[in-house]
Chain A
Amino acid sequence: MAERTNSKKHYRDNFTGWLLNIPYLAYTAVFFLIPLVWAVWLSTMDWNLMSPDRTFVGIRNFTGMFANPKIIAAFFNSFRYLAPIVVLCFLFGLLLALLISNLPDRIKGVTAVLFFIPYLTSGVATSVVIRFFFSYNSAFNHFLRERFDKDISWFQNPTSAFWIIIAIIVWKMSGYYALFLLSAIESIEPEVNEAAAIDGCVGFRRLVYITLPMILPTITTVIVLASGLAFGIYTEPYLLTGGGPNNATTTWLLEIYNTSFTNFRSGEGAAMAIANAVQIFVTIQLFTFVMNKLNRKFGV
């Protein structure tokens, strides 16, 4: 009798759970699962989406990518972007979080929000301002020419163009990640820091031996999120460099956009999107694996 009652309760609980999950499941099916299946199908076609004629090409859209220097550049650029973005976003985010955590409580919140504002700024607006800042007749370039006799073509040099894009992204995202880290730092019990201080563990030592190990799960989140960010760069290179010079700043999204919406080769674009997704999945898994190892070894 008791078993039957438990089973009924189990069924009721499950039913309510499923019922409340229906919106999410439906949303996932409509906006993720169906497009994914459709993209896989599209990637096997030679089709511009407009024509009633479409040709099945099997895996040709995938194999063709290996011969496309832009795709190869986008693949390697993802990793070139990844390293500085992850490192700098984490370091600047941590620095901001540490600085804000030491501020008086009454201004802590406001300061955190101030550093969060760049995250809310449109990439288009930022890129336009940056383009103006580095234009030939900007005050900055005037100054360089007048004072140092330097006439620099910022966006025509692969190195400077690349680092300008990195700088914009780091500026935009550091404040956002700082909020994650700040909340983790704030959640460390004051007694832990007091006990460490009694043992003489203060300053940099406290950061290394107390703070960082205690916020390692949050650091993992920040690093995984920042690594994903490196694969989603689009607005800045689109507006500032067009992926050049010599494909030095091109990205997957830029190439997918150009292939699908400029050259109207939607099948190829879909194949590229899938290849990009695979690269993201493998990289994020790798990062998660390494961070979990670190968590187990050094985490508290």
Chain B
Amino acid sequence: MIMKKLICAMLAGIMLASAFSGCSPSDTAGGESSESGGVVTVNFWSAPQKVQYNFWTAKAKAFNETETKVNGKTINVKVQEMPESPSSEAGIQNAIVTGTVPAASENISRSFAATLASSGAVYDLQDEQWFKDAVAAKKMENIIAGWAIDSKQYVLPEYVNPMTWQWNAKALRALGFSKVPQTVDDLDAVLKAFVSNKSKMSEIGVTHTLYRTSLARNDQWWERWYDFQSPYMALSQKTTWVENGKLTLDRQGAIDTFELLGKFGNTIQTNEVTDAWTAENPPILLSVSSPWDIQTLRAAGKTYGMDGDYVFGPSLVKKAGDTPYNFADSKGIVLYKNSKISDEQHQGAVAFLKWVYSSENCTQSDVDWLKATTMIPVRGDISTNSAFADQLKQYPELKDLVEFSKYSIPCMASDKMTDIQTALTESGLSVYIQEVLKQEPLHAPDASKAVDSAFSAMKAAGNLS
């Protein structure tokens, strides 16, 4: 009988252990402190992209070889890709809640940083000497103000993708244009030529003008950065969206932006096209630019430039001479504040970033970044610093993007950004686009009603005045 009880107890124990075997935390927050070995392990999360992970792993390896010490203990930086599912932001949220957040991570937008800052989950870097040194080393003195959140700095800017327009150069040439459109009038001329040369366009496979599936999807709020904010910044000449709890969006600028998209009428392609830019004959005239696809396009044999297959153009401005501001698809690095991250781990993360962006290593780090990712590092001297010249010569695409990046504006610093952009989509742009899709090109419907409706919805969604 005792034996039976013993077997039952063992079985129960084994079942219990099996059921909970997956519950032990895979890692501790920030890293691990090993007193005996005198080593402090510091966790750093890279974006869930192989190229970025490789870059940071290489930097961590080089840093670890310096055997930098904090409080007599050697810092060992360990790089991991941040969780991608369901989203990197949700992965960070989960890590903060469960106490497994790293000491530092990249891939943080200004807006998400605002959410983290309002939650007290990240350090204010403004008064840190190493941060000031990094800003100076990257010549970002004029750029950094655009990254402020409530007059404080929480993010060390890392890269910027200026979001502008990507044109089918072959189609532009076939329509008789030798220069990429710069103004709204230029766009009108291209659309006019497109309408009167539809059969000629069909011959080279171009069936639509603007390729933009997200205009038909209410859930993709983040796409408003690219198809609304970017042209809006140029058409309103950099009028902000939200500031100090107030909706500062310029009504006329918003109407102009809606109507700019409205000009494309029923030639907007809102259906998915699987190989829009890599097809032998791209079926579209333009799309929002995708700088991260440069390597893919090269691999597909596409050449860049007005005499090639595709070309990046600036944000369209109202009149020649206006500044072509655009949206900066940009991310940066933050240091997490959490009770599970020890002071030594925090200091270790600071030491690592200080080393990567020190005056000696900063330029090389940014050159390495550009080579690894073909995304433009945020710095004030990229077009004049000879260290980047080879890379920009090799990639004329990047050279143009670097020019556009001078006018790039990061996303709004509001923890209500998703609500605000969702409201703009659902109450304004989406409703308007349904009307647009019934119209011929160059007959943009009046957008004032849709814009007013979007303004009310955005104020309500973001508790804005």
Contacts and interface: CB of A to CB of B under 8 A. Distances in A.
Interface of A: 12, 15-16, 19-20, 22-23, 26-27, 30, 48-52, 131-132, 134-138, 153-156, 241-247, 257-258, 261-264
Interface in B14-39: 15-16, 18-20, 23
A261 B97 contact: no
A243 B219 contact: yes
B419 A19 contact: no
Interface of B: 1, 4-5, 8-9, 11-12, 15-16, 18-20, 23, 86-87, 89-90, 93, 96-97, 115-116, 118-121, 216-221, 269-275, 279, 283, 415, 418-419, 422
A48 B117 CA distance: 12
Contacts of B115: 48, 50, 264
Contact of A258 (B12, B216, B219): B219
Given A48-B119, A50-B119, A23 B93 contact: no
Contact of B12 (A23, A137, A241, A257): A23
A27 B21 CA distance: 11
Contacts of A48: 93, 115, 119
Contacts of B118: 51
Contacts of A132: 274
A261 B86 contact: yes
A49 B93 contact: yes
Contacts of B219: 242-244, 258
A156 B216 contact: yes
A51 B418 contact: no
Contact of A19 (B9, B20, B415): B9
A262 B116 CA distance: 13
Given A50-B116, A153-B216, A244-B218, 16 more contacts: A19-B12, A22-B12, A22-B16, A30-B20, A48-B119, A50-B115, A135-B273, A155-B272, A156-B270, A156-B271, A258-B219, A261-B87, A261-B90, A261-B93, A263-B419, A264-B93
Nearest to A31: B19
Contacts of A156: 216, 270-271
Contacts of A155: 216, 271-272
Contacts of B9: 19
B119 A242 contact: no
Contacts of B16: 22-23, 26
The interface centre, meaning the residue of A20, A132, A136 with most chain B CB atoms within 10 A of its CB, is: A136
The 10 A-B residue pairs with the shortest CB-CB distance, nearest first, are A242-B219, A51-B119, A23-B15, A261-B90, A136-B271, A50-B119, A135-B272, A23-B16, A242-B217, A50-B96
16 contacts: A19-B5, A19-B8, A22-B16, A23-B16, A26-B19, A30-B20, A48-B119, A50-B115, A135-B272, A135-B274, A136-B272, A137-B275, A153-B271, A156-B270, A242-B217, A261-B86
A137 B5 CA distance: 67
Nearest to A250: B219
A49 B219 CA distance: 23
Contacts of B275: 137
A27 to B, nearest CB: 5
A150 to B, nearest CB: 13
B8 A242 contact: no
A27 B93 CA distance: 25
A195 to B, nearest CB: 46
Contacts of B93: 48-50, 261, 264
A16 B5 contact: yes
A29 to B, nearest CB: 11
Nearest to A51: B119
Contacts of B19: 23, 26-27
Contact of A20 (B1, B12, B119, B271): B12
A15 B11 CA distance: 14
Contacts of B273: 135-137
A299 to B, nearest CB: 36
A52 B219 CA distance: 29
A244 B217 contact: yes
B405 to A, nearest CB: 28
A23 B116 CA distance: 39
B433 to A, nearest CB: 10
Contacts of B86: 257, 261
Contacts of B418: 262-264
Contacts of B216: 153, 155-156, 244-245
A246 B12 CA distance: 52
Contacts of B218: 242-247
A155 B216 CA distance: 9
Nearest to B415: A264
A242 B271 contact: no
Contact of B270 (A131, A153, A258): A153
Contact of B89 (A19, A243, A261): A261
Contacts of A247: 218
A127 to B, nearest CB: 12
A263 B23 CA distance: 27
Contacts of A52: 119-120
A50 B20 CA distance: 26
Contacts of B274: 132, 135, 137-138
Contacts of B116: 50
B102 to A, nearest CB: 14
B368 to A, nearest CB: 32
Contacts of B119: 48, 50-52
A276 to B, nearest CB: 17
A249 to B, nearest CB: 10
A245 B19 CA distance: 42
Given A16-B4, A263-B418, A49 B97 contact: yes
